Amino acid sequence: MSSQNTQNYSEDTIRTLDWKEHIRRRPGMYIGKLGDGTFADDGIYVLLKEVMDNSIDEFMMGNGKKIEVTVQEGRVTVRDYGRGIPLGKVIDVASKMNTGAKYDSKAFKKSVGLNGVGIKAVNALSTDFTVQAYREGETKRVEFSRGEVVTDHDMDTSGEKNGTYIAFTPDAEIFENYRFRDEYIETLLRNYTYLNKGLSIVYNGKVFQSKNGLLDLLNENMDGEGLYPIIHLEGEDLEIAVTHGNQYGEEYYTFVNGQHTTQGGTHLVAFREAYVKTIRDFYNKNFDVSDIRTGIIAAVSIKVEEPVFESQTKTKLGSKDIGPNGPSVRNFILDFVTEHLDNFLHKNTESAEILYKKILESEKERKAISGIKKLARERAKKVSLHNKKLRDCRIHYTDIKKDENGASSIFITEGDSASGSITKARNVNSQAVFSLKGKPLNSYGLTRKVVYENEEFNLLQAALDIEDGLDSLRYNHVIIATDADVDGMHIRLLLLTFFLQFFPELVKNGHLYILQTPLFRVRNKKKTFYCYSDEEKLSAMKKCGPKPEITRFKGLGEISPDEFKHFIGKDIRLEQVRLKKDVPIKDLLEFYMGKNTPDRQNFIIDNLVVEEDLVTQESNN
């Protein structure tokens, strides 16, 4: 070590951060990524979840059947009717690390949160945070700001029912330009009700509740009806719902103690193994794993004592055992599925026959393309080595899944000029570029054989590494980057069709995005504005004063690499591709990509915007 480094490293350089300062400096350690509310896993929703988890734990202990949630103008309130925080500990629970009742496993045997951090992080990351407990005719209220006590109210009498009230406003300095989206909040709250039958959650006056648990979850999330009625299996500490659809891929919803584990974990691994073993044993045939699970749609909920998660945001279960004295998660699920699924199939012969035919169809298709797949893999490997299609990045999603702040992206674009600009402007560590050659094939109605026969589709699949599912997905942001003209929109539709047809789980799991690029550049000698709409253009023109220079970008290739850095950096605008629950994928693709029906012709005519009209609008502006 050099003498200079030794001098810099002394007692004076050692600091102990206050709890709230540590949270505010390193929020990612506590809530994952920050974000502005555009995506379902952004930090503001984690804040809500941390508060909700405490209320859910109260319900699971048999206290309070209703939780009231409001979100108005960025401020969140949650009122439960549990036992209420002990009045003498209200400040401690909200502001002292490693403080809470959940360390007593008798009081909270199968709780979601055991580390005593949750609402402390919410407190530290909010400009105002209020906690009020109601308990046996008395109440205690404390108000904070960024973790500091602002007002400590005296204990008072109250006629309110027992429970806890928490209100907070996320700090806009940390969550810049944030906005809550109802669809994400409603999904979060619906999941709580599926997993807690008898619970009623009221969100901004809208009531959510479930009578049939995971059966309701699948019915409300499935793309159309299953091939056979949903198999619903319930036991102590384990609930499973499963069926098959006609789509490719596998679709799972997994939960631990009411927590949605979006990245799965030991319980999902165990279920997939147990399902395959049971099916093989029942039919007495050594079916290929992919033939059994292709098209599967399943939900698994398990309760575990003192669960171990792989991150503070609890998206992946790491626990090996059910509890200190219980069996392993694997054996617990294996025994349950082996017994109950086998019994169901013996008693429901019609469903068993439908499932058998589904497996045989998958087997037939797999064998039909096995030779093509081998050649396709060799072709993909050869092209990748010569770097003709894929300009790869250095860090991939498979490398950073455990890092909640990590992200890797791939831009799918068409044409040398567009891919060239993005390639020069990208971050080589985390952003890859895949260049299409012309328009992709319309894959609607085709079988998976075309994925391997069509060079573009085969190479794209290989670049993403999704042939065997999402476990090996190399990029968590798959971004379609096409021109904002008719041809670009057509390419976008063709790519959407490809993913929805063959890899719907990629879309349903929130990995597919559309890159938003500016339509206009408005500037004068001192200022430059990039505008994504006519409204933004008009606003920029006013800011620039008289006679600004206005450039309309008609294609990505017209944007220089230096300018592109502004659009794919920290200020990148991405539109996540989301599916409405009430529109089945099959119907959606048939309308837009099927035969040219009168209904589609009328739709096109009614929504047609002619280029001449756009030019006229611009000149008028």
pLDDT digits (tens, 9 = 90+) for 152-190: 999 999 999 999 999 999 999 999 889 999 989 999 999
pLDDT score for 312: 55
Question: What local confidence, expressed as pLDDT, does residue 559 receive?
Answer: 85
SS3 annotation, 499-556? HHHHCHHHHHCCCEEEEECCCEEEECCCCEEEECCHHHHHHHHHHHCCCCEEEECCCH
Q: Which residue in 317, 606, 320, 269 sits closest to 471, CA to CA?
A: 269
At residue 129, the pLDDT reads 95
Give the chain's domains with CATH numbers: 21-208 (3.30.565.10), 214-368 (3.30.230.10), 370-517+553-582 (3.40.50.670)
Q: What is the pLDDT of residue 353?
A: 97
Residues in CB range of 172: below 8 A, 6 or more apart? 127, 178
Q: What is the pLDDT of residues 16-59, one digit of tens each?
A: 557 777 788 887 777 778 888 988 888 999 999 989 988 988 89
Res 102 pLDDT > 60:
no
Q: Is 602 exposed, middle or buried (0-12, 13-18, 19+ CB in 10 A)?
A: exposed
Whole-number average pLDDT of the chain: 85
User: What's the pLDDT at 259?
Assistant: 81
pLDDT band at 596 (very low <50, low <70, confident <90, very high): low
Q: Residue 292 and residue 171: Cα distance in Å, rounded?
A: 48
pTM of this structure: 0.81
Position 121 pLDDT exceeds 50: yes
| DSSP secondary structure string for all residues of 580-606 | -TTS-HHHHHHHHHSS--HHHHHHHHH
Q: Is the dihedral of CA 338, 341, 346, 351 positive or negative?
A: negative
pLDDT tens across 197-249, in order?
899 999 999 999 999 999 999 999 888 889 999 999 999 889 999 999 988 88
Dist CA 312 CA 8 (whole Å): 33
Average pLDDT over residues 304-331: 76
Dist. CA 551–CA 260, nearest whole Å: 46
Tokens linked to 96: 């002292």
